């Protein structure tokens, strides 16, 4: 159980609190205020961007306003439709007693019908005396098609006084595009969760008690790209550090805390195919489908990148057409270190593959750079000499 402002949120797991909630974030407060009028509020980002802390704070506010909040923290063991809907009904009953009595009776049956339970939930929540919020944390741990279908039905039919919040590391398999077009969806994503320069300085100096100058705080904010977990890890490393400026200039994905966090929270949970793709393509500063295919020697680079973006695996689009992407700076540092550690003998070949692709696609500068990284000095010389006539013509 987790207690906010003297009221109880029913949950199978405790809701963690961090120092992030001590930073005022008015633009996020304004965005979340729209959740009152939305069918679904989706909070989707990679690990460590403060999703749970943000929503826990918001739910404390709505509870003080008289709403009931049912908070369910999920894990892979809940990836069963019967188990999932039993937990949902139980959590709703604890947070708003007497609101869903028929659903509770159905959920107690030895053999229950998830479809029937969801239908009854829709009808009973429509008659609720006050607003009811259902928060599903770590929704990305669920893969069951039956669960997603049930959630889609619930969301398509819920009354205006019922609000659903999904907190996830990957976009759920729900009709988000339809609700987005109808303006029935509030989305909180990486761009919204990143700390601004002002928030970064407040977090580092005001909350963590560091005495960084404004330029030092700004530099660390740029290096972490506003990623709150990385800022917290940097703050831990900076405690008692006599030369913060020197540390900040060197802060990268080889910091022990950053490495441990990303390996434990991100890489360890990936399928082997995805993990190998991440490592192989980490040599690239920019990624496209065909370039990744050339580097890895596999097909399917474009759908893989689209899948990584949906999964919020620290991959950001560089254009509106989703043709080019890049990894988060700290994430790619960790990937490159792991690549050298696990597949160091393959690095030269990966760079050579990239060099050949860029040569075929008029990327002379990148082709030369990857040739040099592959220790193919004769190739780099050849590429530079071949480019000279074009350079002279364009002078």
CA gap 117, 222 in Å, rounded: 48
Confirm if 69 and 133 have CB atoms less than 8 A apart: yes
Nearest residue to 383 (alpha-carbon basis) of 213, 363, 393: 363
> What does the pLDDT read at residue 12?
38
In terms of phi and psi (left: phi > 0; alpha: psi -120 to 50; beta: otherwise), the region of 330 is alpha
Confirm if 219 and 200 have CB atoms less than 8 A apart: no
CA gap 307, 176 in Å, rounded: 16
User: Hey, what long-range contacts does 180-187 have (CB within 8 A, 24 or more apart)?
Assistant: 184/38, 184/39, 184/40, 185/38, 185/39, 185/40, 185/41, 185/42, 186/31, 186/32, 186/34, 186/35, 186/38, 186/40, 186/41, 186/42, 187/41, 187/42, 187/44
The residues of the chain that CATH labels 1.10.10 are: 264-390
The residues of the chain that CATH labels 3.40.50.300 are: 2-193
Nearest residue to 144 (alpha-carbon basis) of 46, 73, 78: 78
> What does the pLDDT read at residue 111?
85
> What does the pLDDT read at residue 251?
83
Phi, psi of 30 (to 5 degrees): -65, -40
Mean pLDDT by 10 residues, the chain (395 residues): 35 46 80 91 94 91 92 94 96 95 92 93 94 96 96 95 96 94 94 93 87 90 91 84 81 84 89 96 97 96 95 92 94 94 95 96 92 94 80 53
Beta bridge partners of 165: 41, 135
In the numeric block, which tokens belong to residue 43? Answer: 């909070």
> What does the pLDDT read at residue 175?
95
What is the sign of the dihedral through the CA atoms of 28, 35, 155 and 91?
Answer: positive
End-to-end CA gap in the chain: 70
Domain 2-193 top-level CATH class: alpha beta
SS (H, E, C) 120-168: HHHHHHHCCCCCEEEEEECHHHCCCHHHHHHHHHHHHHCCCCEEEEEEE
> Rounded to 10 degrees, what is the CA torsion of 58, 64, 70, 76?
30
The SS3 call for residue 376 is coil
Domain 264-390, classified CATH 1.10.10, yes or no:
yes
CA gap 124, 161 in Å, rounded: 12
> What does the pLDDT read at residue 395?
54
């Amino acid at each position: 159980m987790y207690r906010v402002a003297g009221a109880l949120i029913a949950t199978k797991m405790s809701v963690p609190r961090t120092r992030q909630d001590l930073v005022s974030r008015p633009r996020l407060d304004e965005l979340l205020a729209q959740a009152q009028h939305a069918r679904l509020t989706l909070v989707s980002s990679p690990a460590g961007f403060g999703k749970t802390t943000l929503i826990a704070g918001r739910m404390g506010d709505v509870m003080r306003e008289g709403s009931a909040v049912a908070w369910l923290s999920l894990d892979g063991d809940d990836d069963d439709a019967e188990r999932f809907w039993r937990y949902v009904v139980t959590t709703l009953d604890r947070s708003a007693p007497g609101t869903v009595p028929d659903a509770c009776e159905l959920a107690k049956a030895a053999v229950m019908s998830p479809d029937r339970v969801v239908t009854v939930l829709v009808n009973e929540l429509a008659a609720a005396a006050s607003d009811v919020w259902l928060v599903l944390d770590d929704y990305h741990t669920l893969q069951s098609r039956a669960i997603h279908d049930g959630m889609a039905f619930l969301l398509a039919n819920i009354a205006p006084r019922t609000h659903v919040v999904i907190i996830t590391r990957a976009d759920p398999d729900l009709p988000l595009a339809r609700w987005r077009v109808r303006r029935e969806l509030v989305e909180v994503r990486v761009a919204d969760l990143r700390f601004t320069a002002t928030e970064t300085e407040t977090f580092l100096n005001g909350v963590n008690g560091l005495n960084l100058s404004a330029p030092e705080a700004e530099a660390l904010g740029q290096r972490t790209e506003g990623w709150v977990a990385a800022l917290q890890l940097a703050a831990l490393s900076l405690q008692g550090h006599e030369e913060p400026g020197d540390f900040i200039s060197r802060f990268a994905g080889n910091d022990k805390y950053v490495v441990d966090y990303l390996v434990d929270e991100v890489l360890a949970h990936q399928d082997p195919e995805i993990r190998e793709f991440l490592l192989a393509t980490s040599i690239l500063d920019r990624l496209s489908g065909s370039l990744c295919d050339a580097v890895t020697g596999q097909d399917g680079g474009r759908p893989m990148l689209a899948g990584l973006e949906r999964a919020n695996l620290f991959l950001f689009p560089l254009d509106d057409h989703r043709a080019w992407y890049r990894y988060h700076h700290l994430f790619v540092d960790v990937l490159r270190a792991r690549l050298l550690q696990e597949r160091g003998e393959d690095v030269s070949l990966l760079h050579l593959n990239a060099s050949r692709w860029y040569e075929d696609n008029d990327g002379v500068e990148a082709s030369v750079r990857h040739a040099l990284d592959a220790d193919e000095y004769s190739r780099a010389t050849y590429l530079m000499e071949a480019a000279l006539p074009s350079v002279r013509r364009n002078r």
